Amino acid sequence: MNPAGRFADVAREDGRAALVTIVRSPGAPPLGSKLVVTADGAREGSLGDAGLDERAMQAAEELMWAEHSELREDGEVGLFVDVTHPAPRLIIFGAVDYAGALSRLARACEWRPYVVDPRSQFATRERFPDAEEVMTAWPGDAFPRLGGIDRATYIVVLTHDPKLDDAVLELALRSPAAYVGAMGSRRAQEKRRERLVALGITDEELARLAAPIGLDLGATTSEETALSIMAEVVAVRHARGGGRLSASGAVRIHEVGA
């Protein structure tokens, strides 16, 4: 199959891939040459130069996980990297009221929310109709059943039960997850930190934890707290700080297609 056809197939299957096309060239390599790279590192096609292929693969790998298409310059050669990817996953641990509000908001933002809790009396479809899936399981079983943790996985811990919290965080902080956040007061966070250190979590791994979770919106309700959390994960996804736009020097503001 040609690279464009392979890319189209991945897109139809709601998968992840990047298609690199030469859109500017001094003559060699030829315009229109294509290379497709999939999430597992497999590739099809060639841009006509082994070194250029390797550099294109690196750009494809970076952008398919950053989840945006981009024009890249390679000397006199222009490479357009077109990316396709599924909606990001938000895995919520803790079948609490906050989880319901967060699932609703995540779904409205076209994310895929999952709710996980080992307590079957709380983790029910009736309580979380907006979730992609509601799972009764401990983290060690839940993550494999959800296909593992990749660089487009966002993990939120909403319980106050050390048994569940620590079991999630021990796995999540050692994973390639894009975001790991946990609810709790600053005092609770300090106790949690002590427990995680005792489990062997390093300072570098602990630095990945967003805790207390969310942006400082002054939230007082479940819905406002969900907004605070969702705002933070969206900011992380787009590599933004989450401050006020009126105080931001960002060139691109609301990137909404026409």
pLDDT in tens, 78-130: 999 999 999 999 999 999 999 999 999 999 999 999 999 999 999 999 999 99
Q: What is the pLDDT of residue 256?
A: 45
Say which DSSP state 78 is in.
E
Owner of token pair 């082994």 = 50
Confidence of residue 253 (pLDDT cuts 50, 70, 90): low
Right CATH for 89-237 from 3.40.50.300, 3.40.50.720, 1.10.150.20, 1.10.3190.10:
3.40.50.720
Q: What is the pLDDT of residue 258?
A: 35
Per the CB < 8 A criterion, the answer to whether 93 and 117 are in contact is: yes
| Global pTM value | 0.86
- How do beta strands 17-24 and 89-93 pair? unpaired
Confidence of residue 185 (pLDDT cuts 50, 70, 90): confident
Task: Read off the pLDDT of residues 26-71 as tens digits, 9 standing for 90 and up.
Answer: 888 889 999 999 999 999 999 988 999 999 999 999 999 989 999 9
**Nearest Cα to 177, choosing from 65, 67, 99?**
65
- How do beta strands 89-93 and 153-157 pair? parallel
Could you state, in order of their start, the residue ranges of all structural domains in the chain?
A: 3-84, 89-237
Confidence of residue 206 (pLDDT cuts 50, 70, 90): very high
pLDDT at 251 over 80: no
